[in-house]
Amino acid sequence: MVGREGRSPNGTDAQLPGGRPAGGAEGVLRPHAEQEYAEELARLHEHDDRPRPPGWRLSPWAVTTYLLGGDLPDGTAISPKYVGQRRLMEVAVATLATDRALLLLGVPGTAKTWVSEHLAAAISGDSTLLVQGTAGTSEEAIRYGWNYARLLAEGPSEKAMVESPLMRAMRLGSVARIEELTRMPGDVQDSLITVLSEKTLPVPELGTEVQARRGFTVIATANDRDRGVNELSSALRRRFNTVVLPLPDSAEDEVDIVARRVGQLGAALELPESPAGLEEIRRVVTVFRELRSGLTGDGRTKLKSPSGTLSTAEAISVITSGLALAAHFGDGVLRAADVAGGMVGAVVQDPVSDRVVWQEYLETVVRERPEWRDFYRACREVS
């Protein structure tokens, strides 16, 4: 039975009425990476003859190939998940092959969550053992809690215990994911120290402990912008290897990322087919990069930067909403008018200061580009 014990075994051996496995991705709004890319993972597994660290589904080489894409000997193409420096992913994977945990750090929208999900999927075949860090995250969410009805009725027992995803990962020898580590209060963060250094989680109430099986490791993410909210304690910092994920190097890389993700999202949402709209993607990426860096692409004009992040992730959502507009209310071709609304919404987060920044950009930069006439007009209309 699922959920009777207050924990669901990820549906792996559970059945839903009608005989469909609960773990199946059919009809699910967003399948987990290991479901969506099950085929690629299976092919990699087949061709992977390199040594695997204990508890790993794939070798570090195969995990890296899964992340960065490549071709297998039988001609199977593995799609790139992460676009960026190979070395960063190699360092991340190599870290996990040691007994150290991995911290992915970076500004918003640099694929920290995305990479952590795919790493967990490739290494353990399960990306769902996840704790979301917030200011309200309690130690119970990291360690374990109790099913109070059972606790009162029967006293403390294994059955009355509710495992955290972290404890489950230790038991299974899997990757546990912790999102937004530095949003959790310092003392809650510190409850990770024993787990990471001793690889055990004591349960004093039962006089026992859960010892991590081989293959257990932790991938945490933290946002640069949260720095100063709750610092990562130095004791904890020493137990993590940090990999900083950068913003995409070049505009071309960023266009590539946006185009790729928009294609996938469009397919998942079953948006009607529409031409790639690469020109619009390029334009949105250019605007975002210029405003982010405070300088026009040619380096001639200094700009003020708005308060929002304008990350790759926002570019992806501006284009996806544009595609929905074009598909449902336009002629199916992504045009300037379809992205203008989303673009202004993304840039103007603060109605006063950001509006000034945007107007200035519109009048001094956008207006001066003859090939951006349609875009200028569309933006004027929504501004």
Residue 267 CB, nearest approach to Mg ion (Å)? 22
Binding residues for Mg ion, rule CB under 5 A, total 1
Q: Does 113 bind Mg ion (CB under 5 A)?
A: yes
> For residue 173, how far is the Cα from the chain centroid?
22
> Which among 105-113, 181-189, 309-317, 323-331 is the span making contact with Mg ion, rule CB under 5 A?
105-113
106 binds, among ligand ATP, Mg ion, none (CB under 5 to 8 A by kind): ligand ATP
Cα(106)–Cα(227) distance, rounded to whole angstroms? Answer: 10
106 interacts with ligand ATP by CB under 6 A: yes
Both structure tokens of 70: 């490549």
Is 376 a binder of ligand ATP (CB under 6 A)?
no
Residues 37, 56, 66, 114: which binds ligand ATP (CB under 6 A)? 114
Give the range of 145-153, 276-284, 294-302, 309-317 binding ligand ATP by CB under 6 A: 309-317
Does position 84 interact with ligand ATP (CB under 6 A)? The reply is yes
What, of ligand ATP, Mg ion, none, does residue 189 touch, CB below 5 to 8 Å by kind?
none
Figure out which of the listed residues 59, 110, 124, 137 binds ligand ATP, where binding follows CB under 6 A: 110
Minimum distance from residue 308 beta carbon to ligand ATP (Å): 12
Of the residues 312, 319, 344, 366, which one makes contact with ligand ATP according to CB under 6 A: 312
Under rule CB under 6 A, residue 313 binds ligand ATP:
yes
Q: Between 132 and 383, name the residue whose CB sits nearer to ligand ATP.
A: 132
User: CB nearest Mg ion: which residue?
Assistant: 113
When the beta carbons of 247 and 287 are compared against Mg ion, the nearer one is 247
Secondary structure string (H, E, C) spanning the chain: CCCCCCCCCCCCCCECCCCCECCCCCCCCCCCHHHHCHHHHHHHHHHCCCCCCCCCCCCHHHHHHHHHCEECCCCCEECCCCCCCHHHHHHHHHHHHCCCEEEEEECCCCCHHHHHHHHHHHHHCCCCCEEECCCCCCHHHHCEEECHHHHHHHCCCHHHEEECHHHHHHHHCCEEEEECHHHCCHHHHHCHHHHHHHCEEEEHHHCEEEECCCCCEEEEEEEHHHCCCCCCCHHHHCCEEEEECCCCCCHHHHHHHHHHHHHHHHHHCCCCCCCCCHHHHHHHHHHHHHHHHCECCCCCCECCCCCCCCCHHHHHHHHHHHHHHHHHHCCCCCCHHHHHHHHHHHHCCCCCHHHHHHHHHHHHHHCCCHHHHHHHHHHHHHC
Closest to Mg ion by CB, 90 or 226: 226
Distances (CA, A) of 248 to 82, 221, 253, 292, 295: 11, 18, 6, 12, 16
- Segment 213 to 272, residues that bind ligand ATP, using CB under 6 A: 221, 223, 248, 257, 261
Give the range of 16-24, 82-90, 320-328, 366-374 binding ligand ATP by CB under 6 A.
Answer: 82-90
Residue 112 within binding range of ligand ATP, rule CB under 6 A? yes
Q: How far is the CB of 265 from Mg ion (least distance, A)?
A: 16
Q: Quote the CA–CA distance of 334 and 341 in Å, as a whole number.
A: 13
Nearer to Mg ion, 221 or 296 (CB): 221
User: Is 286 a residue that touches Mg ion (CB under 5 A)?
Assistant: no
The whole-angstrom distance between residue 84's C-alpha and the CA centroid of its chain comes to 15
The reply on whether position 67 binds ligand ATP by CB under 6 A is no
Closer to ligand ATP by Cβ: residue 53 or 69: 69
Based on the shown chain and the rule CB under 6 A, indicate whether residue 143 belongs to the binding site for ligand ATP. Answer: no
Which is closer to ligand ATP, CB of 110 or CB of 147? 110
Structure token digits, residue 234? 């130095």
Q: Which residues of 344-358 are buried (b: 16+ CB within 10 A; e: fewer)?
A: bebbbeeeeebbebb
Q: Is 341 in the site for ligand ATP (CB under 6 A)?
A: no
Shortest Cβ distance from residue 26 to ligand ATP (Å)? 22
Chain residues that interact with Mg ion, rule: CB under 5 A: 113
Chain residues that interact with ligand ATP, rule: CB under 6 A: 82-84, 106, 108-114, 221, 223, 248, 257, 261, 312-313, 316
